């Protein structure tokens, strides 16, 4: 058996959208099960996200702490943001988020890991990039508001973040996945190019 995820879509006999918000929505689908029964599934419809693990020349990762209301926590996270435009190139979105949130640019970009955040309840797909060769971005800092106005920043050695993840002290899914993926491949031998295909969120180069 080949161990890899494969696309598959079971028949939907009814679908509605009982809630539509500014960026996301909730769908209710009636899905035909393998035994012929029909089950109702509610899930969040999400445009997708990008995260950036920005690694400096000293092996430190740029992280930020931000309040997340649904979980009532301030979480340490990687710079991240939504794919605001359908079909948007995720690399361009990641570069934008690194600039807007941290006022940093990077000379070297790779795909670190792709994941579905909570596939039992959302179709959100996340691509985590590795960014290296960091420098301060040109121009003025991006104006922040709401939760972002309260953000804190730090540069943390990768092993410290790994310990924080494994000890249950760090919980953000993009940070957890990115940190562990980088720790698993310190020589960067398995990483894909920055514009590698992403079937979960197809885009134009």
- The active-site residue out of 148, 169, 195, 204 is 148
- Residue 186, Ramachandran bin (φ over 0: left; ψ between -120 and 50: alpha; else beta): alpha
Distance from the first to the final alpha carbon of the chain: 33
77 has catalytic annotation: no
CB-CB contact of 103 with 141 (8 Å)? yes
Tokens of 18: 């009982």
- Residue 17, Ramachandran bin (φ over 0: left; ψ between -120 and 50: alpha; else beta): beta
Catalytic residues: 148
């Amino acid at each position: 058996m080949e161990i890899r995820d494969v696309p598959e879509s079971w028949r939907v006999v009814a679908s509605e959208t009982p809630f539509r918000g500014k960026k996301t929505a909730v769908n209710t689908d009636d899905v035909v099960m393998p035994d012929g029964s029909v089950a109702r599934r509610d899930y969040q419809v999400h445009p997708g996200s990008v995260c950036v693990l920005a690694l400096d020349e000293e092996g430190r990762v740029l992280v930020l702490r931000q309040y997340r209301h649904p979980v009532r926590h301030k979480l340490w996270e990687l710079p991240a943001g939504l794919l605001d435009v359908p079909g948007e190139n995720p690399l361009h979105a990641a570069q934008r988020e690194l600039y807007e949130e941290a006022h940093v640019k990077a000379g070297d970009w790779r795909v670190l890991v792709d994941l579905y955040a909570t596939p039992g309840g959302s179709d959100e797909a996340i691509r985590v990039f590795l960014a290296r060769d960091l420098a301060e971005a040109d121009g003025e800092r991006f104006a922040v508001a709401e939760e972002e106005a309260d953000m804190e920043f730090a540069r943390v050695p990768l092993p410290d973040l790994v310990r924080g993840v494994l000890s249950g002290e760090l919980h953000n899914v993009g940070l957890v996945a990115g940190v562990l993926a980088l720790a698993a491949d310190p020589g960067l031998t398995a990483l894909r190019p920055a514009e590698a295909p992403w079937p979960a969120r197809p885009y134009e180069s």
